[in-house]
Amino acid sequence: MKHLIFQTNNTWTGTLLRWAIGLVFIPHGLQKTFGLFGGMGWAGTMDLFTENLHLPYIVACTVILVEFLGSISLLLG
């Protein structure tokens, strides 16, 4: 079973899927983090998450950072 989980294929499919998902996620992360692409930026997004959606500060911060850093991590592989 362990072999099936950690098995890798010698194809470009995984790389192309990772890049596609990373390219979709990166504008969303940049909107929330820096306000690019018509986004609200860090302060606006934190205000939305904490005041309107009533999320704790640490959860809102984690959501923003995961979306931004996760997309970069996907692109880097």
Q: Which of 40, 33, 22 is nearest to 63 (CA)?
A: 33
Written as tens digits, the pLDDT of the chain (77 aa) is 888 777 878 889 888 999 999 999 999 999 999 999 999 999 999 999 999 999 999 999 999 999 999 999 999 98
Distance CA 53, CA 38 (A): 20
User: Is the alpha carbon torsion for 64, 70, 72, 75 positive or negative?
Assistant: negative
- Considering the entire predicted model, what is its pTM? 0.76
Alpha carbon distance 15, 19 (integer Å): 6
